[in-house]
Amino acid sequence: MIYHSIVGFIVWVLATLAFRFYGQAFFYPDILVVSILFIVAGPVLWGFMIVYLGVLNVLPENRALAAIAFVLPGMALDCLAIANFGLVFPNLDPSLDGLFGSLMLWAYGSLLFGGYSSDRRAKRKAARLLLERAGGE
C-alpha cells in the first residue's frame, strides 16, 4: 500500500502545481464553469481510479484499501494547502478557497468511490466465475 501512497503523493504534487500555475484558466468565480468542473470531475476521477487499479492488477479484496492509500496523502496535504490558500495559490481569487475545498472533497470522494465500486464489481465477477466453474464440473 506504500506504493499507492507514493503514487497518490506524486499525483497530488502534479495537481497542486497545475492549480498553482494554471488554475485561473479554468477555476474562477463563474458558476457555470465551476458547475461543469464539478460535473466532469466526479466521473473522470471515478473512472481514473478504476483504470488505475485495473492496470496495476490490484486484487479485488485490496482495491478499496489501495484507493484509501492513494487518496490519504493528498487529503492531508490539501488541508494545509487550503488553510494557506492565498500563499499556495496566489493566482486564484482568495474568495475561492471554500469552493476549492469543496472541489477537492468531491474529487477525493469520487476517487474513493472508484476504489470501493471497483472492489465490489471485481468481487462479484470473481464469485460469478467460481459459480460457473462449480456448475460446469
Q: Are 116 and 67 in contact (CB under 8 A)?
A: yes
pLDDT (tens digit per residue) in 106-126: 999 999 999 988 777 777 777
This model's pTM is above 0.85 = no
Q: Are 37 and 26 in contact (CB under 8 A)?
A: yes
Burial of 93 (C-beta count, 10 Å sphere; 0-12/13-18/19+)? middle
pLDDT (tens digit per residue) in 55-67: 999 988 889 999 9
Q: Is 8 helix (H, G, I), strand (E, B) or coil?
A: helix
